[in-house]
Amino acid sequence: MLRDLGSFRSLLNDLRMQINQMMIENDKLSANVKKLSGNVDDLEKVEGELSKIVDGNSIDHLVDVVKETKEINEKIKVRKERSVTGMHLN
């Protein structure tokens, strides 16, 4: 019985050490969760501010500008190719 008590005591001590380590890790994780929650709140604020700045009309205008820029770049490319080959545009 005394031998069993000795091994029981060491097992109990091991469990206490593991519990202490888990509590330390839990504290670290809790701090990280709190920090991440703050970051999420900040990101939500930024998203809200950006959505105030950019409305649907601005996005449509941006898409139009990008399309127009693509068309202009294509025309420039064609003119350069013709210029290199000796063909001139009117």
What percentage of residues in the chain have a pLDDT greater than 70? 82
**pLDDT value, residue 86:** 66
**pLDDT value, residue 81:** 81
Q: Nearest-CA neighbor of 24 among 34, 14, 13, 16?
A: 16
Whether the CB-CB separation of 80 and 86 falls below 8 Å is answered with no
Average pLDDT for the chain: 82
User: What residue ranges do the domains of the chain occupy?
Assistant: 1-53, 55-90
Give how far Cα 78 sits from Cα of 44, 66, 75, 88, Å: 45, 18, 5, 11
pLDDT in tens, 41-64: 888 888 887 777 666 667 777 788
Q: What is the pTM for the complete model shown?
A: 0.45
